[in-house]
Amino acid sequence: MAKTFGGVFTQQRPIPEAGIEAAVRVMRSGRLHRYNVLPGEVSEAALLEQDFAAWLGVPYCLATTSGGTAMQIALGAVELPRGAKVLTNAFTLSPVPGAIHQAGGVPVLVETTGELVIDIDDLAAKAEASGAKHLLLSHMRGHLADMEAITALCDRAGITMIEDCAHTMGAAWKGRKSGTFGKVACFSTQTYKHLNSGEGGFVTTGDAGVMARAIIRSGSYMLYDRHIAAPGADAFADARLDSPNCSSRMDNLRAAILRPQLAQLAADCEAWQTLYGVLEAELRKVPGLILRAIPNEETHVGSSIQFRAPNLTDDHVPVFVALAASRGVELKWFGSHEPHGYTSRHVSWRYVTEQALPRTDRVLSRLFDMRVPLTFSEADCRLIGAIVGDCLGEIAGSGKAPEEAR
Ligand SMILES: *Cc1c(COP(=O)(O)O)cnc(C)c1O
């Protein structure tokens, strides 16, 4: 009988008990708004920012309503001029080009390599051709490009780098944490990332001016002195009058459930690495699959895994996805012309001028993606890997036309 997996790819673990208790305390207090504090009280949101800044090793942090609003705020805080071009990855999630557009920028999409990271040669070429002075670097699916090469390129060309770390909380390049390479970094605490508050995000930076503008933009009114992971009042002298209010504050309830999760993040990252390792080893046994070789310089914390199956024909791709689904394995395919669920391709972002990205299209046409939630066991991962192998073997070995292959 064909093996079937019965787990749920979208099921995260419950919120830690300490988070539930903290959330109940906030609800009992009635003070959910981050600036609604008693004399001398520091809000959960401000404490979370302090915790996260300490965890990342930077002086300043702002908590926001989402990763997407964090990116919009970050682009505004680096004073992106209206109509300015912003380099970014062609392979990313739609909030990334969306944030550039919302911040008044114009996305310039950069090719993706077979290793699923930004193509540095194309980045250099497009930086020169476009004259763009900003890069929103998306560490899509947790894969880091050569951060030294990118930093050197940005320094040479006078480009301000903003990191999208939605998938790299806990990741590092040569021991240096992702989110500490650019002028600003953005994180997400949306349910499917490394911390889970339903929705939420962070902006982090070492630059006092950038953080002052970010805080005012997030909707602090004139209550910015209630932040702890923030610069002193001097930094706000102009920002408080110059920066538009985008009302994207995190509330105390979400902050309360995040703080205990942050305290156990290191252990969770190790758990993800273990599951990823098991799944990777299993998938590497399958003939015809290509997985990214993670460089020695990189500390990778995959909460999802990707593989390419370059030998599948166009017709076989949907058959493979359907066959895996029929055995309980939920694969996302990035090559689809029509956007599905969370997944869309650059051609579906019609507010962005159409751009030719043949290399990215080629890579995405045979790229598959799976979530790896911490509710999975190592045995689950072995079973999932075996099912993927079976499904691919069935299609490859069938010798039948794809419509008969099921
Ligand atoms: C999830 C995600 C974001 C931010 O998403 P929100 O849902 O707005 O928190 C940004 N970039 C990438 C690559 C993502 O996957």
pLDDT tens-place string over residues 305-330: 999 999 999 999 999 999 999 999 99
**Residue 339 corresponds to which tokens in the numbers above?**
């956007």
Q: Characterize 214-247 residue by residue with b for buried, 16 or more Cβ atoms within 10 angstroms of its Cβ, and e for exposed.
A: bbbbbbbeeebebbbbbbeeebbeebbeebeebe
Residues 110-116: what's their mean pLDDT?
97
261 lines ligand 1 (CB under 6 A): no
d(CA 235, CA 279): 48
Instruction: Indicate if the alpha-carbon torsion angle 220, 221, 226, 228 is positive or negative.
Output: positive
Mean of the per-residue pLDDT values for the chain? 96
Q: How far away, in angstroms, is 137 Cα from ligand 1 center?
A: 12
Q: Is 245 helix (H, G, I), strand (E, B) or coil?
A: coil
**Residue 266 corresponds to which tokens in the numbers above?**
């290191």
Contacts of 124 (CB under 8 A, 6+ apart): 153, 157
Which letter does DSSP use for residue 89 in this model? E
Rg (CA), the chain: 22
Confidence of residue 18 (pLDDT cuts 50, 70, 90): very high
**Residue 133 corresponds to which tokens in the numbers above?**
């002075």
Residue 398 confidence (pLDDT): 64
Structural domains of the chain, ranges and CATH numbers in brackets: 17-263 (3.40.640.10), 265-405 (3.90.1150.10)
Residue 339 confidence (pLDDT): 87
Residues 219-226: what's their mean pLDDT?
96
Q: What is the pTM of this model?
A: 0.96
Q: Which stretches of 5-83 are DSSP H helices?
A: 17-29, 44-56, 67-77
Q: How far away, in angstroms, is 343 Cα from ligand 1 center?
A: 11
Residues 52-56: what's their mean pLDDT?
98
Residue 406 confidence (pLDDT): 39
Q: Which residue has the tokens 């020695």?
A: 296
Residue 2 confidence (pLDDT): 83
Residue nearest to atom 5 of ligand 1 (CA): 67
66 lines ligand 1 (CB under 6 A): yes
Q: What is the position in ligand 1's atom list of the atom closest to the CA of 67?
A: 9
Residues in the chain: 406
d(CA 389, CA 384): 9
d(CA 205, CA 176): 15
Q: What is the position in ligand 1's atom list of the atom closest to the CA of 199?
A: 9
Residue 179 confidence (pLDDT): 98
Residue 403, pLDDT > 70, answer no
d(CA 95, CA 92): 8
